[in-house]
Amino acid sequence: MWTIRTVRRYAVTAALAAATGGCFEWEANVVRGSYAFSKYRSESSSGLHIGILAQNATVNGFTCRKGGWAHFNPDWSLRACFLAEPFQTEHFEFPAGTWVMPRTDGLIVAFAHDEACQGFVCSGSGGAKGTQASFYPNGRLKSFYPPKDTMVSGILCAATSLVDIRLHENGKLKECRAASAGNADGIDYAAGALVRLDESDHGQ
C-alpha cells in the first residue's frame, strides 16, 4: 500500500531522474558530428559533446589522438583534446600528447612533461586536469607555472601552484610573485609581493 511518505519519495526520485536524464547517458561505438567515438555523451545543459575518439580526428587544424578524450563545443568546433601529432604555430611547436584547449584569445595547454619553451620551462602535468600554460594566438608564451624559481626581466619569480608567471607578447614580464626582495624600476618590493611590469619593464 502506498503511503503519503512513499508517494513523496517516489515523486522526488522521479523529479531527480527527469532533471538529470540525458546528462550522464553514455553511448558506445557511435559516429557523432562526423567523428567516431568509442564512448560518447552530450551534455544537455551546455550542449557540449564529450567522448573518447575511436580514431585520430583532425579538428580546426589540430589532430586529436585516438583513444584520448575530446571535448567539442555545441557547433562541433574543438574545445579540448590530446594531440596525436605535433601542432606548429609561428613561434612554437606543441608536442604530441599535449592537452590543447583552443580559445578565441589563444591556446591553453597542459604539457605531458616539463617543457622548454622560449627560454623558460613550463611545468608538465601528464593529464588534462593538471598544470596549465597559455599562449597568444601566434604561439608566444603568455603564462606558465615554472618547476623552480625563474628569472624574468630581472625579477626572480617564485615557483608556486597558486600564482603563475604572466608575460607580455614581447616576452617581457607582465606579472609574477617575487621569490625574493628586490627593486623594479625604482620600486622596492618584498619577497612574496606581486610584481607588475609594463612591456618596457617599467614598474606599475
Q: How far is Cα 86 from Cα 166, in angstroms, rounded to an integer? A: 24
pLDDT at 109: 97
- Listed as own residue / partner, the contacts of 161-166 with beta carbons closer than 8 Å and 24 or more positions apart are 161/131, 163/194, 165/120, 166/142
Measured in whole angstroms, the distance separating CA 181 from the mean position of its chain's CA atoms is 31
- In this prediction, residues 82-103 reach a mean pLDDT of 97
pLDDT at 11 over 50: no
Task: Decide if 84 contacts 56 (C-beta within 8 A).
Answer: yes
Q: How far is Cα 175 from Cα 161, in angstroms, rounded to an integer? A: 15
Domain positions in the chain? 148-204
Q: How far is Cα 30 from Cα 48, in angstroms, rounded to an integer? A: 16
For strands 62-64 and 69-72, give the pairing.
unpaired
Whether this prediction's pTM lies above 0.95 is answered by: no
SS3 23: coil
pLDDT at 12 over 90: no
Task: Decide if 49 contacts 32 (C-beta within 8 A).
Answer: yes
pLDDT at 202: 83
pLDDT at 10 over 50: no
pLDDT at 95 over 90: yes
pLDDT at 21: 44
Work out the number of other CB atoms within 10 angstroms of the CB of residue 166.
Answer: 18
What is the residue-wise DSSP string for 120-143? EEEPP-SSTTS--EEE-TTS-EEE
pLDDT at 36 over 60: yes
* Confidence band for 20, pLDDT divided at 50, 70 and 90: very low
Q: Look at the block and give the residue holding cell 609561428.
A: 90
Q: What does the pLDDT look like over 111-164, one tens digit per residue?
A: 999 999 999 999 998 778 889 999 999 999 999 999 999 999 999 999 999 999
Q: What does the pLDDT look like over 172-196, one tens digit per residue?
A: 999 999 999 998 888 899 999 999 9
